[in-house]
A and B are shown apart, each in its own frame.
Chain A
Amino acid sequence: MAEALDLSVYVKRQDDGTAHLDLAVEGIDCAACITEIEGGLSHLPGLLAARLNYTTHRLMLQWEGSLDPATFVQELDRLGYRAHPFRARALEEEEARRAQWLLKCLAVAGFASMNIMLLAVSVWSGNVSDISPETRDFFHWLAALISLPAVAYAGQPFFRSAIGALKNGRTNMDVPITIGILLALLMSVIETINHAEHTYFDSVVMLLFFLLCGRYLDQAMRRRTRAVAGNLASLRAEVAHRLDQHGEPTLVPTVALRRNDRVLVRPGERIPVDGIVIAGASEVDESLVTGETSLRSLQEGDTVYAGSFNHAGALTVHVTAAGQGTLLDEVERLLENASAAKSRYRQLADRVARAYAPIVHAAAALTALVWIATGSSVHDAVITAVAVLIITCPCALALAIPVVQVVASGTLFKANVLLNSGDALERLAHIDTIVFDKTGTLTLPEMRVANTAAIEPELLETAARLAMSSHHPLAAAVAREIRSAKPFPGVVEEPGRGVRAIVDNREIRLGSPSFCGAEDLAAIMAGENEQASVIAFSRGEERVVLLVRQALRPDALHTVRALQDLGLDCRILSGDRPAAVGPIAHALGIASWRGGAKPADKIGELKLLMANGKKVLMVGDGLNDAPALASADVSMSPITASDLTQAQADAVFLGDKLAPVLDAITISRRAHALMRQNLVLALVYNLIAVPLAFLGYVTPLVAALAMSGSSSLVTLNALRARGKKVDPMAKASTGPSRLTEIASQGA
């Protein structure tokens, strides 16, 4: 890298004069990496601490003095690791704090339940032998002393959620939980004062412990997904050449750019910001923004969008604030409407809770009334009613869905799918229609050589090695044909024409057809394939013309067939020209497709489908897809999608393959079936337990056994969501998916 990267925007200065930087490091896959990295950096002057977090693949650095942060990146590069500055997103920090809090609550509940169980077992065994009433009262008071502060602390996650729901005029699962816990505690205290035989302190605290386990697991799973997504985002974080007053470029991270900065964009680079061209002319590929694959030519005064790819000439761009472009304005306006519509979806658990809470409370009230009517004392009646509430307190019910979600999202993680929202599983399970975007979704995000089969492998390899020395986008596509090779030495680049080198005493050239003397061949090829760009290669007398175009994902055909076999209606809705969409739709066997759709058209089409009772999954990557993703029932996007688009997607998938879409649907269908099974199990448990409680047979011992039994049963059943091993083919993909494999090792 000729220019040094200016990382100062990522450095946090602390009050004691030390500086702090977090880096996401690629390629950590063994224990030795830890000492290699930490030891390898230790010789840097002024470095106070370097600590690698192996779980999240992040390196924390702290130093004093005037050490340039870029030296760390260079030093790591020398050690063989690529590092990227990392800035934790606010959301991730919030989640980390919440996880710590849940863990503390869990610890308190665990401590309390162990100690109370010690006392409770003594009372149970004493009740059937010779415990004196004084000793029993003493034990009950002790249990109260432990459980009251413990519940007050460890119950907060549920109390807060329940109060939040009630304030908004809704009920959720935490409302009956909170009512059950509070009533049981109150009754136990009153019973203790009355020197009674039974109290429920142990049941309450154990219930809390089980529920917190479920909450914590759920949180941990989501946090792991977030950490990987955060690392991926920082690997993709882009850099830009900012021009100072004298027109000298410095390499800075895109986040450091401010409005009214000037940025130089060279050919073969992605435009990092929205802005206006103030010098230069070029052609840009805006497929990530609009889905349109043909190039748009740019002149001074034209507006450009972040994410466009600069093909031809160097541009100087004046940075404008985001959201000034007409396209972005429209996208954001559509997004607001669409997101509002989506929040109306009700989760299965909340729907069950809505029906469940009134029934349970009615059953408890009925119990009290019946007992009073049959001549019992008010005291006995209330105690039995509370026993009904405790036994129905939805321990199994509250675990039934989160545990399946945790297990299923772990399985999805291994299948290279990261879930953004917890209820996406339920929505994915229901879909019957899939709408694909074309560019970057069905096709690979970058261009590939289309006619590799017609070219001798040896010749193609030579061309690819030569192409590594060029920055031209077409050459970059050719270079992708080989994975590991060194570029030829002594390559000369002729701007605007191509590259050439002398290898084995023969001249090889790669570039425009005229540069390689292959105009005749190129004219024939171009006539046959209007969609593709051509690049020529010559070696002595041998000449070939390579067709470069957007290629389908390698398993697109197979996956679409499999999806259709599942009875799903697959459609294509693209912003690209119909002439470019038609052949792809035909190749994939998709009958209903539409091209040239603007963002509003996409939403219109989806609304029409949804109005006809279809449940729609939208898969797309472009900025122009973001509103459609938000308005569909559920949405997925590849990790190469623009940031705004990814933020709208319910799930993000990694790698070159389309198979994760299929995996996501099969896994979520299985998960949904298991959720329903679990709900039925919890319901059956209640059908057995409630009559027993109604008749007054439920002692604290029975309650403890029933609760732990049903919770274990539900959890074990949820483990089946792991299902069979995921297709090994899905793992063999390249690129970012390797990262998840590393991240998922031992996880």
Chain B
Amino acid sequence: MNVLLFLVPMALLLGLSGLAAFLWSLRNGQYDDVQGAALRVLSDEDLKP
């Protein structure tokens, strides 16, 4: 069962990093304009020819 000593912290760490990523995206204002984000991705204006 020694594998648990490795697996359990790993699982917790993965979960925590997911939570941290979500909180970062929330603070970053990524949920302020959900519909706009879906449309902005289709715009090519920012591409240099």
Closest A residue to B18 using CB positions: A111
Chain B residues closer than 8 Å to A118, beta-carbon distance: 11
* Given A104-B26, A118-B11, A34-B43 contact (CB < 8 Å): yes
Stretch from A47-55, A198-206, A319-327 at the B interface: A47-55
The verdict on A297 contacting chain B, using a C-beta distance below 8 Å, is no
At the interface, yes or no: A35 with Cβ under 8 Å from chain B? Answer: yes
Within 8 A of A (CB), among B2-41: 4, 8, 11-12, 15-16, 18-19, 22-23, 26, 31-36, 39-40
Query: Are the C-beta atoms of A54 and B33 separated by less than 8 Å?
Result: yes
Is B47 an interface residue when CB atoms closer than 8 A count as contact? no
A237 proximal to B (CB < 8 A): no
Identify 19 residue pairs between A and B in the complex whose beta-carbon atoms are under 8 Å apart, listed by A's number: A31-B39, A34-B39, A34-B40, A35-B43, A39-B45, A54-B35, A55-B33, A55-B36, A56-B33, A100-B26, A104-B26, A108-B19, A111-B15, A114-B15, A115-B11, A118-B11, A135-B1, A135-B4, A138-B4
Q: What residues of chain A lie closer than 8 Å to B1, measured between beta carbons?
A: 132, 135
Known contacts A54-B35, A55-B33, A115-B12: A31-B42 contact under CB 8 Å: yes
Contact B45 A107 (CB under 8 A): no
Look across to chain B and name the residue whose beta carbon is closest to the beta carbon of A99: B31
Is B26 within 8 A of A54, CB to CB? no
Q: What residues of chain B lie closer than 8 Å to A53, measured between beta carbons?
A: 32-33, 36
Interface residues on A, range: 20 to 34
Checking B11, B31, B33, B35 against A103 with a beta-carbon cut-off of 8 angstroms, the contacting residue is B31
Q: How far is the CB of B17 from chain A (nearest CB, A)?
A: 10
Bound: A39/B40 CA distance, A: 13
Q: Are A111 and B39 in contact (CB under 8 A)?
A: no
Give chain A nearest CB distance to B18 CB in angstroms.
7
Q: Which residues of A contact B19 (CB under 8 A)?
A: 107-108, 111
Rounded to whole angstroms, the CA-CA distance of A53 and B15 in the bound complex is 31
Q: Which residues of A contact B16 (CB under 8 A)?
A: 111
Which of chain B's residues have a CB closer than 8 A to the CB of A104? 23, 26
Q: Are A107 and B39 in contact (CB under 8 A)?
A: no
Q: Which residues of B contact A34 (CB under 8 A)?
A: 36, 39-40, 43
Chain A residues positioned under 8 Å from B31 (CB to CB): 103
CA distance A135 to B8 in the complex (A): 12
Least distance between B29 CB and chain A CB atoms (Å): 10
User: Which residues of A lie under 8 Å from residue B4 when comparing CB positions?
Assistant: 135, 138
Across chains A and B, which 4 residue pairs bring their CB atoms closest together, nearest first? A54-B36, A31-B39, A111-B19, A53-B33
Contacts of B45 in A (CB 8 A): 35, 39
Give Cα A108–Cα B19 distance, bound, in whole angstroms: 7
In the complex, A732 has a CB within 8 A of chain B: no
CA distance A56 to B31 in the complex (A): 12
Q: How far is the CB of B5 from chain A (nearest CB, A)?
A: 10
Give the residue name and chain of the A residue nearest to B9 (CB): A142
Q: How far is the CB of B3 from chain A (nearest CB, A)?
A: 11
Q: Is the CB of B40 within 8 A of A746?
A: no
Secondary structure dominating the interface of B? helix
Q: Are A103 and B36 in contact (CB under 8 A)?
A: no
Q: Which residues of A (100-114) have their CB < 8 Å from a CB of B?
A: 100, 103-104, 107-108, 111, 114
B44 to chain A, nearest CB (A): 9
Would you call B35 and A55 a contact (CB within 8 A)?
yes
Complex Cα gap A107–B31 (Å): 13
The answer to whether A746 and B12 have CB atoms under 8 Å apart is: no
Shortest B37–chain A CB gap in Å is 8
Complex: A132 Cα to B45 Cα, angstroms: 61
Chain A residue numbers with a CB within 8 Å of B12 are: 115, 142, 146
Q: How far is the CB of B39 from chain A (nearest CB, A)?
A: 4
Chain A minimum-CB-distance residue to B34: A55
Q: How many residues of B contact A (CB 8 A)?
A: 23
For B34, the chain A residues whose CB sits under 8 A away are 55
The distance in angstroms between the C-alpha atoms of A138 and B9, with both chains bound, is 12
Q: How far is the CA of A746 from the CA of B39 in the complex (A)?
A: 12
| Closest Cβ neighbor of A131 among chain B residues | B1
Residues of A contacting B35 with CB < 8 Å? Answer: 54-55, 746-747
Minimum C-beta distance from B35 to chain A (A): 5
Q: Which of A103, A107, A142 contacts B8 (CB 8 A)?
A: A142
Most buried by B among A31, A108, A114, A746: A31
Given contacts A100-B26, A104-B23, contact A54 B39 (CB under 8 A): yes
Measured CA separation A132–B4 after assembly (Å): 13
Q: In the complex, which residue of chain B has the Cβ closest to the Cβ of A142? A: B8
List, in ascending order, chain B residues with CB within 8 A of A138's CB: 4
Of all chain B residues, the one with the shortest Cβ separation from A746 is: B35
Residues of A within 8 A of B18 (CB): 111
- For A746, what are the chain B residues with a Cβ–Cβ distance below 8 Å? 35
Chain A: minimal CB distance from B10 (Å): 11
* Further 13 A-B residue pairs, CB within 8 A, beyond A52-B36, A146-B12, A746-B35: A31-B39, A31-B42, A31-B43, A34-B36, A54-B36, A54-B39, A55-B33, A107-B19, A107-B26, A111-B18, A115-B12, A115-B15, A138-B4
- Find residues 30-45 in chain A having any chain B CB closer than 8 Å to their own CB: 31, 34-35, 39
Contact with B along A105-141 (1 / 0, CB 8 A): 0011001001100100000000000001001001000
- Residues of B within 8 Å of A54, CB to CB, are 33, 35-36, 39
- Chain A contacts for B33, CB-based, 8 A: 53-56
A115: nearest residue on chain B (CB-CB)? Answer: B15
Q: Please give, as numbers and ranges, the residues of chain B lying within 8 Å of A146 by CB-CB distance.
A: 12
Interface centre among A34, A56, A103, A108 (most CB of B within 10 A): A34
* Docked complex Cα distance between A135 and B2 (Å): 11
Distance in Å: Cβ of A50 to nearest Cβ of chain B: 13
Q: Return the CB mask of A292-324 against B: 1 if under 8 Å, else 0.
A: 000000000000000000000000000000000
What residues of B have a CB within 8 angstroms of the CB of A108 in the complex? 19
Query: Contact between B23 and A107 (Cβ–Cβ < 8 Å)?
Result: yes
Give CA–CA (A104, B40) in the complex, Å.
26
Residues in B with CB closer than 8 Å to A100 are: 26
Chain A neighbourhood of B11, CB < 8 A: 115, 118
Contacting B at CB under 8 A, from A159-188, are none
CA distance A39 to B32 in the complex (A): 21
A111 smallest CB distance to B (angstroms):
4
The chain B residue sitting closest to A54, CB to CB, is B36
Chain A CB within 10 Å — which of B36, B39, B43 has the most? Answer: B36
A105 → B minimal CB distance (Å) = 11
Q: List residues of chain B with CB within 8 A of the CB of A114.
A: 15
What is the bound-complex CA distance between A371 and B36, given in angstroms? 60
Q: How many angstroms between the C-alpha atoms of A56 and B35 in the bound complex?
A: 9
Closest Cβ of chain B to A223, distance in Å, is 12
| Residues of the A chain whose Cβ atoms lie less than 8 Å from the Cβ of B23 | 104, 107
Residues of A close to B15: CB separation below 8 A: 111, 114-115
Query: How far, in angstroms, from A1 to B15 measured CA to CA in the complex?
Result: 58
Complex-state Cα separation, A197 to B16, whole angstroms: 27
Q: In the complex, which residues 52-87 of chain A have their Cβ closer than 8 Å to any Cβ of chain B?
A: 52-56
**CB neighbours of B39 from chain A (8 A):** 31, 34, 54
Chain B hits for A35, CB < 8 A:
43, 45
Interface centre among A107, A108, A142 (most CB of B within 10 A): A107
Q: How far is the CB of A42 from chain B (nearest CB, A)?
A: 11
CA A746 – CA B32 in complex, angstroms? 16
**Which chain A residues lie closer than 8 Å to B22 at the CB level?**
107
